[in-house]
Chain A
Amino acid sequence: MLERIFHPFDPFVLLFTAGMSFVGTFFLYKVIRWIEGLSAGDKELLTNSIFSKKTWKALGEVIRESLLHKKIFGVNARLGYMHMSLAFGWFMLILIGNIESVYYTGRLFKPIYVSVFWRFFEPGPAFPQGAYTPGFAFWMDLFLLFVLSGLAFAIYKRFHSIRLGMKRTTRQRPADRVALTALWLIFPIRLLAESATCGANGSGSFLTGSLGSLFASFINLDPLVLPLWWTYSFVLMAFFFALPFTRYFHIPSEPVLIFLRKYGIRVSKESPGYTDLSLRACSSCGVCIDPCQLADVLPGRKIQSSYFVKTIRHNEPSDLQWDCMQCGRCEKACPVGLELMPIRQNSRADLSFGTKSNLIGMNGRNGQSHRILYFAGCMTHLTPSIIRSMTKIFDQSGSSWQFYDSDGRACCGRPLKLAGQTDGANRIKEQLQKDFLASGAELLVTSCPICYRMFNEDYDLPGIQVLHHTQYILQLIEWNRIQVDQSKLNAAYHEPCELGRGSGVTREPRELLSKLYQKDVTPDIEGLCCGGSLGGPGLTLATRRAVARGAMNDLSEGKPDVLVTACPLCKKSFTPVSDIPVMDFSESVAQCLIEQSVQPELRKSTKTHRKLPVDAG
């Protein structure tokens, strides 16, 4: 009976089987820990979604990203090919090997090693007759060649990473090196072992067969076959034993992450299991390093997400979590789609000293209900000309509006959140949320992208639409509620991190720009950080200025007469380093505004208003 189950068998397969069992057990243990580490709500999401369409969608994504690496292709085609050939090629070798072994043995269930070492047990069709017929051996050879070509790229990349389009690449840890060496050896040794078997048996397809017969023409392969398979088995074992302690553990982790993400689970402090899974799913590919503006400003400091993830994954003490502006450029670039910003924010909390929030300054309403609530935000209070411009625009449009934080005391809570002080942020949120809902307003307009993102992502405001002032002003113009004269100047738009990348508001500011200025000379680059970010409380002024200068330099490419932005903080950051005027959209609009007399009754009454499209929604 036993003999039947383990047939065919050779002692060398034990090495592989040991490694495989080890990594399999470890992986299973991790999966259980990850799921255990989910919050009650996330566990519910998991159980509710597992038998839904989401699972199929996740499966599709696993194929696209874990096997084909579509996103890395988007970053760089050669880099993508490298990842795809290794992942997809290896997967196909396993799949076809399995089918082949099932086909020949007629047994669906058998030890894994049987299919892995199938060529040893079954040398394949006679060479050269069967070499080019598309049977199992042919496909196996083809995919082995595919993997080897990717491996060649990988080895080449290690030594010449610049040529593959990445300026910088990640450094390896000792365990990584063991695994990397093993990984590099696996496929060349497999090629040798299979070729030797084929050569000795006069079999094989175009690759293993040709190589085998070539070897056989000048040496006797018989004594070499078994040692080569032992080596192959040993290298596999080494790789598998090293795997849990290295970055290569992302290979089994990433699919799990994709499933849980599809089920709606996100990084949060309440689900440490999911955070650990995310950290494990990072392949340390280093794609996040080049987009980081601090890489140029603080050369030699390993602060980028790739390094950061590595230090917290290995529980190394560091203060890297503070050296980041939270601009999100790395998050956008991450091919695994890791939530790098929340991960960093949450890791900050451990250092917080507890928040004392006295929640002062909720303005109190004067009894009258207004359709629009204007929330300037604390940063806007540092740029009074934006408030003045918005006042002018609101009044000119004849809207019924109220200035919620006219005394500047209200905070949206996001600065605390970015600093990792979630509790304080939540308390502020609860208070403001209650106030907004009680105000009877239908529309909440803010001048600050930081507040805008917080209101959208963290607040629950049924019946109130949140708009950034660029969106609101564009609607006012489109609905002819205000008129503007186009300026003769050329303008470039600086997209604030929190508005563009953070909140997905990209269309409205550009449209507004084209209405206000003769020519849009915005360079075609991913939104930059102005350096003023609230996300990096530990960065010095010199660093921030350097970031601002770098960004200003890039934004000036089209020789604009004016730099227009949509965030008070960006405006404040660029002003000291800019030779051209830096303006917020509200200021540009107020400047171009064609002033007309507003009907007094229109201003007072909310009923006679022509409603904005947002009112309906």
Chain B
Amino acid sequence: MLENENHRIAVIGAGPAGISAAVTAAELGIDVDWYDKADQIGGKLNDYYQLFPDRTSANKVLQEFDDQTGTARIHKHFGKAINHIRNDHGRLMLMSDQEAVGSADSVIVATGFDFFDARNKEEFGYGIYNQVITSPELEQKLRTNPDSLKIDGAAPANIAFVHCVGSRDQQIGINYCSRLCCVTGIKQAIEMREMFPSCRVVNFYIDIRAFGSGYEELYREAQEKHQVQFIRGRVSEASENQQHRIVLKAEDTLMGRPVKITVDWLVLLIGMVPSCTQVQVADHPCTDQETGFLKAANAFAGNRLAGQTGVFMAGACGGPMSIPEAAASGRAAAAEALQYLINR
């Protein structure tokens, strides 16, 4: 398809967006140099248990992704973090700690996101009380050692989820909505109810944003089929009682009264924030000032990174995104990169 065989694309990141971008580019006949700071593909998918809304096994999804990456056109350079892209007269140099580790004609940035550090909302007691965990930690427990959720060998009696931790919170300067914590909380609440049928599960929310395909249905299912309790109201603080259980204080804003409950586990549904290893591109500002995520030159027109030529973004490095969305944006970025190489 391309006259010059030397055209190469670099993909940075091997999560769902990076995998899709690399695989699509390779299928379109381009050689791909593929970088990731980790040693294996999958990114955060490696840490998940089941995916919403239909609760497909994360392992299965990852396996299906991995099966596509065995092509000869993909050259993996894993275990190295690319933190800077330098534009050297049109040639894009991939820098790892001041050292050029490769170069490309076009780059797709798919570095993903970080989870909000829940210690910044100290009032929820994360990092202080052992019984306070985050949603990805719950995923990890479900995936590797569900028994660790038991309390002294018995099923927990009460579990609470707090929505919007590090999301839509002006107090900490994160004003945007992370979109996916709601459905994560709904999914995990169902999983808890299934695993511990005697356990009371309560979700504290501001409002439920079940925007994706199948999400609203899952929300209804959680209430009707699984009797998950949803209380509208922010939790003001968490403390520990003598038995090392967590005491929550909140306001039920629908009923207009204060709520105080004691739980065995408090799960914080933490939001998505820009990755701390986010790539610096050619010293041009290409991040959104408000959110810190990467910004497209024209969000309506495609995935080209603001202020750059030949650099495209894919997945959650541009803002909170689900796995199918990230994968779709990876495929789109690959197509755009190819188009760029043909037309330039």
- A128 sits at the interface (CB 8 A): no
In the complex where A407-B249, A408-B239 touch, is A384 in contact with B120 (Cβ < 8 A)?
Answer: no
Give CA–CA (A385, B249) in the complex, Å. 17
**A572 to chain B: which residues have CB within 8 Å?**
122
Is B129 among interface residues, defined by CB-CB distance under 8 A?
Answer: yes
Kindly state whether residue B125 has any CB partner on chain A within 8 Å: yes
Contact A381 B123 (CB under 8 A): yes
- Give residues 374-402 of A contacting B (CB, 8 Å): 381-385, 387-388
Q: B237 contacts the other chain (Cβ, under 8 Å)?
A: yes
CB pair A387 B239 closer than 8 Å: yes
Q: Is B238 an interface residue (CB 8 A)?
A: yes
Asked whether B128 lies within 8 Å of A541 as measured between CB atoms, the reply is no
For the residues of B in contact with A, the DSSP-based class is mixed
A409 to B260, CA, bound (A): 11
A545 vs B120: C-alpha distance when bound (angstroms): 14
Q: Which of B170, B172, B173, B240 contacts A384 (CB 8 A)?
A: B240
Total contacting residues, chain A, CB less than 8 A: 18
Contact assessment for A576 and B172 in the assembled complex, using a CB-CB cutoff below 8 Å: yes
> Does the CB pair A383–B122 fall under 8 Å?
yes
Q: Decide if A408 touches B249 in the complex (CB within 8 Å).
A: yes
Known A384-B123, A384-B129, A388-B240; judge A541-B260 contact (CB<8 A). no
B218-267 interface with A by 8 A CB criterion: 236-240, 247, 249, 258, 260
Output the least CB separation between B32 and chain A (Å). Answer: 37
A384 touching B171, Cβ below 8 Å: no
Q: Is A542 an interface residue (CB 8 A)?
A: yes
How near does chain B come to A374, taking the closest CB pair, in angstroms?
13
Q: In chain A, what residue has the closest Cβ to B117?
A: A576
A384 near B237: Cβ-Cβ < 8 Å: yes
A575 within 8 A of B: yes
Please measure, in the bound complex, the distance between the C-alpha atom of A383 and the C-alpha atom of B119, giving whole angstroms. 10
Please determine whether A385 and B237 come into contact, CB atoms closer than 8 angstroms: no
Provide the residues of chain A in CB contact with B258, threshold 8 Å.
360
Given A407-B249, A542-B173, A384-B260 contact (CB < 8 Å):
no
Q: Given A381-B239, A541-B170, A542-B173, verify A388-B128 contact (CB < 8 Å).
A: yes
In this complex, the interface size class of chain B, counting residues with CB under 8 Å from chain A, is 20 to 34
Q: A407-B260, A541-B170, A541-B171 are in contact. Are A385 and B122 (CB under 8 A)?
A: yes
Q: Could you tell me if A408 and B128 are in contact, using CB atoms closer than 8 angstroms?
A: no
Alpha-carbon gap, A541 to B171, bound state (A): 7
State whether A575 touches B120 (Cβ < 8 A).
yes
Given A388-B128, A575-B120, are A382 and B237 neighbors across the interface (CB < 8 Å)?
yes
A575–B117 alpha-carbon span in the complex (Å): 12
Q: For A384, list chain B residues within 8 Å (CB).
A: 122-123, 125, 128-129, 237-240
Q: How far is the CA of A406 from the CA of B258 in the complex (A)?
A: 16
Q: Which residue of A lies closest to B128 (CB)?
A: A385
Task: Quote the shortest CB–CB distance from B183 to chain A (angstroms).
Answer: 28
Tell me whether A408 and B237 are in contact in the complex, defined as CB-CB below 8 angstroms, given that A382-B122, A385-B122, A575-B120 are known contacts: yes
Could you tell me which residues of chain A, from 462 to 504, have a CB within 8 Å of some CB in chain B? none
Q: How many whole Å from B62's CB to the nearest CB in chain A?
A: 34
B239 contact set on A, CB distance < 8 A: 381, 384, 387, 406, 408
Chain B proximity mask over A355-389: 1 for CB below 8 Å, otherwise 0: 00000100000000000000000000111110110
Chain B residues in 8 Å Cβ range of A381:
123, 237, 239
Determine the distance from Cα of A407 to Cα of B240 in the docked complex, in whole angstroms. 10
> A residues within 8 A CB of B260?
407
A interface footprint on B124-146 (CB within 8 Å = 1, 0 otherwise): 01001100000000000000000
Q: Give the shortest distance, in Å, between A456 (CB) and chain B (any CB).
A: 26
Contacts of A541 on B, CB cut-off 8 Å?
Answer: 170-173
Residue of A whose beta carbon sits closest to that of B129? A384
Instruction: Please measure, in the bound complex, the distance between the C-alpha atom of A387 and the C-alpha atom of B247, giving whole angstroms.
Output: 14
Smallest Cβ distance from A510 to chain B, in angstroms? 25
Most chain A C-beta atoms within 10 Å of own C-beta, residue among B239, B240, B247:
B239
In the complex, what's the smallest C-beta–C-beta distance from B344 to chain A, in angstroms?
40
**B207 → A minimal CB distance (Å):** 22
Q: How far is the CA of A501 from the CA of B122 in the complex (A)?
A: 27
Tell me, in angstroms, the Cα distance from A97 to B236 when the chains sit together.
71
CA separation between A576 and B125, bound complex, in Å?
16
A388, B129: Cα distance in complex, Å: 10
- The reply to whether A383 and B123 form a contact with Cβ atoms under 8 Å apart is yes
Interface residues of A in 507-552 (CB under 8 A from B): 541-542, 545
Complex Cα gap A80–B247 (Å): 58
Q: Report the separation of the CA atoms of residues A387 and B241 in the bound assembly, to the nearest whole angstrom.
A: 11
Interchain CA distance A388-B239 in the complex, whole Å: 9
Instruction: Report the minimal beta-carbon distance from A448 to chain B, rounded to whole angstroms.
Output: 14
| 8 A Cβ contacts from B81-121 to A | 119-120
Alpha-carbon distance between A383 and B249 when the two chains are bound, in angstroms: 14
- Give the residue name and chain of the A residue nearest to B171 (CB): A541
Given contacts A408-B237, A408-B239, A382 and B171 within 8 Å (CB-CB)? no
- Report chain A residues within 8 Å CB of B238: 384
A211 to B119, CA, bound (A): 76
Per-position contact with A for B159-177: 1 when CB-CB < 8 Å, else 0? 0000000000011110000
Residue among A406, A542, A545, A572 with the highest chain B CB neighbour number at 10 A: A572
Enumerate chain A residues within 8 angstroms of B237, measured Cβ to Cβ: 381-382, 384, 408
Q: How far is the CA of A388 from the CA of B119 in the complex (A)?
A: 15
Chain B hits for A385, CB < 8 A: 122, 128
> How far is A381 from B239 in the complex, measured between Cα atoms in Å?
8
A8 to B236, CA, bound (A): 80
Nearest residue (CB) in B for A542 is B173
A576 and B120 contact, CB distance less than 8 A = yes
* Chain B residues closer than 8 Å to A360, beta-carbon distance: 258
List the A side residues contacting B128 at CB < 8 Å. 384-385, 388
* Distance in angstroms between the alpha carbons of A538 and B246 in the assembled complex: 33
Q: How far is the CB of B209 from chain A (nearest CB, A)?
A: 23
A387-B239, A388-B128, A408-B249 in contact; A382/B173 too (CB < 8 A)?
no
Least CB distance, B111 to chain A, in whole angstroms: 23
Instruction: Tell me the nearest residue of chain A to B241, going by C-beta.
Output: A406
B26 to chain A, nearest CB (A): 42
Interface residues of B in 166-210 (CB under 8 A from A): 170-173
- CB neighbours (8 Å) of B125 from chain A are 384
How near does chain A come to B270, taking the closest CB pair, in angstroms?
Answer: 15
Residue in B closest to A406 when the chains form the complex, CB atoms = B239
B218 to chain A, nearest CB (A): 33
Given the known A-B contacts A384-B237, A407-B260, are A545 and B173 also in contact in the complex, defined by CB atoms under 8 Å?
Answer: yes
Least Cβ–Cβ distance between A405 and chain B, in angstroms: 11
Enumerate chain B residues within 8 angstroms of A575, measured Cβ to Cβ.
119-120, 122
> Given the complex, which residues of B lie within 8 Å of A542, measured CB to CB?
173
Q: Which residue of chain A lies nearest to B239 when distances are taken between CB atoms in the complex?
A: A384
What is the bound-complex CA distance between A17 and B120, given in angstroms?
Answer: 69
Cα A385 to Cα B123 with chains together (Å): 9
A361 to chain B, nearest CB (A): 9
Quick one: closest A residue to B175, CB to CB?
A541
Q: Which residue of A lies closest to B126 (CB)?
A: A384
B170 touching A382, Cβ below 8 Å: no
Determine the residue in chain B with the shortest Cβ distance to A388.
B128
**CA of A545 to CA of B170 in the docked complex: distance in angstroms?**
12
Q: In the complex, what residues of A have CB within 8 A of residue B129's CB?
A: 384
Q: How far is the CA of A102 from the CA of B238 in the complex (A)?
A: 79
CA gap between A572 and B119 in the complex, in Å: 10
| B57 → chain A closest CB, angstroms | 36
Residue of B nearest to A379 (CB): B123
* Sample of 10 more A-B contacts, CB < 8 Å, known A381-B237, A384-B239, A407-B247: A383-B122, A384-B123, A384-B240, A385-B122, A406-B239, A541-B172, A542-B173, A575-B120, A576-B120, A576-B172
Q: List 23 A-B contacts (CB under 8 A).
A: A381-B123, A381-B239, A382-B122, A382-B237, A383-B122, A383-B123, A384-B123, A384-B125, A384-B128, A384-B129, A384-B237, A384-B240, A388-B128, A406-B239, A407-B260, A408-B239, A409-B249, A541-B170, A541-B171, A542-B173, A572-B122, A575-B120, A576-B120
Top 6 A-B pairs ranked by shortest CB distance? A382-B123, A385-B128, A384-B125, A541-B173, A381-B237, A383-B122
Q: Identify the A interface with B (CB < 8 A).
A: 360, 381-385, 387-388, 406-409, 541-542, 545, 572, 575-576
